[in-house]
């Protein structure tokens, strides 16, 4: 089974733990507790025929934990970076997370996630603004607007990061049709030359 580490980052209270709780356990808590330091969840999913174990790292957004972030990103294949679309100052914070993720020697897939899209009357960040951020900081495709409360687009967010990681790391064998690591010279299933 393929195993990938995914990290979640973003300002305090953007909804990182809530997104994970909806994705992993299909629950939503109006009174979610602040994350102290780092939390961890594991989930198995199937993506385009590949079985994947996702190790999901949830990082407390409070300022005092930020010095720990570079070491927590070690070994990650993907990052979901969240802003709260009802608080525009959370968009300004994205650059701080991107700098650290991009400084990592691994090629980490970045997906931008807008949260709390159920709060339609409180929106402060337009789709155009988030597209601009995606372009400027080399995010994968456009931002995904989600709601952990209703579940809207939550699965899509995790699937996007997984699919992009698979495309980056695996190649389709022309001989047997299975996917194998780009690092290998031969297909691990049928032995055909890469
Ligand atoms: N309406 C609405 N509220 C949300 C949503 N996601 C999270 N919340 C609320 O926002 C608050 C913060 O959510 P958390 O998931 O704890 O945020 P966090 O980013 O993990 O916060 P830290 O761990 O402190 O960094 C909680 O009161 C949640 O119930 C959402 O999609 N819609
Ligand atoms: Mg949290």
CA of 49 to the centre of ligand 2 (A): 31
CB distance 61 to ligand 1 below 6 Å: yes
Domain boundaries, the chain: 2-181
Q: In testing the pocket of ligand 1, which one of 148, 153, 157 has its CB within 8 Å of the most ligand atoms?
A: 148
pLDDT score, position 49: 86
* CB-CB contact of 46 with 166 (8 Å): no
Nearest Cα neighbor of 95 from 58, 66, 116 is 66
- CA distances 152 to 12, 54, 92, 135, 145, Å, are 21, 20, 24, 24, 8
* CB-CB contact of 11 with 30 (8 Å): no
pLDDT in tens, 5-64: 999 999 999 999 999 999 999 999 999 999 999 999 999 999 988 899 999 999 999 999
61 CA to centre of own chain: 15
- pTM comes to 0.94
* CB-CB contact of 2 with 51 (8 Å): yes
* The pair of three-digit structure tokens given for residue 44, joined into one six-digit string: 């198995």
- Using CA atoms, how far apart are residues 129 and 145, in angstroms rounded to an integer? 12
CB distance 153 to ligand 1 below 6 Å: no
Residue 146 φ/ψ, nearest 5 degrees? -125, 165
- Using CA atoms, how far apart are residues 108 and 110, in angstroms rounded to an integer? 6
Around 125, how many Cα atoms within 13 Å sit in the side-chain half-sphere? 24
Neighbours of 16 (CB within 10 A): 29
User: What number does the ligand 1 atom closest to the CA of 18 have?
Assistant: 15
Pick the CATH number of 2-181 from 3.20.20.80, 3.65.10.10, 3.30.43.10, 3.40.50.300: 3.40.50.300
Interval 96-120 mean pLDDT: 95
- Using CA atoms, how far apart are residues 115 and 19, in angstroms rounded to an integer? 8
pLDDT score, position 194: 84
pLDDT score, position 119: 98
Tokens 């709780």 sit on residue: 21
pLDDT of 139 > 90? The answer is: yes
pLDDT in tens, 55-103: 999 999 999 998 999 999 999 999 999 999 999 999 999 999 999 999 9
pLDDT score, position 48: 86
């Amino acid at each position: 089974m393929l195993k990938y580490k995914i990290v979640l980052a973003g300002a305090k209270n953007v909804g990182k733990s809530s997104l994970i709780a909806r994705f992993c356990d299909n629950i939503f808590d109006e009174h979610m507790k602040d994350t102290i330091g780092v939390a961890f969840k594991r989930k198995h999913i199937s993506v385009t025929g590949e079985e994947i174990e996702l190790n999901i790292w949830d990082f407390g957004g409070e300022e005092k934990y930020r010095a720990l972030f570079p070491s927590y990103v070690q070994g990650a294949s993907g990052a979901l970076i969240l802003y709260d679309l009802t608080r525009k100052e959370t968009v300004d914070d994205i650059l701080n997370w991107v700098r650290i993720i991009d400084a990592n020697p691994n090629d980490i897939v970045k997906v931008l996630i807008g949260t709390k899209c159920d709060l339609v009357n409180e929106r402060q960040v337009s789709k155009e603004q988030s597209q601009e951020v995606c372009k400027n900081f080399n995010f994968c495709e456009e931002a995904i607007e989600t709601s952990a409360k209703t579940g809207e687009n939550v699965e899509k967010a995790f699937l996007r990061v997984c699919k992009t990681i698979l495309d980056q790391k695996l190649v389709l064998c022309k001989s047997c049709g299975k996917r194998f690591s780009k690092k290998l010279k031969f297909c691990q299933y049928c032995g055909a030359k890469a």
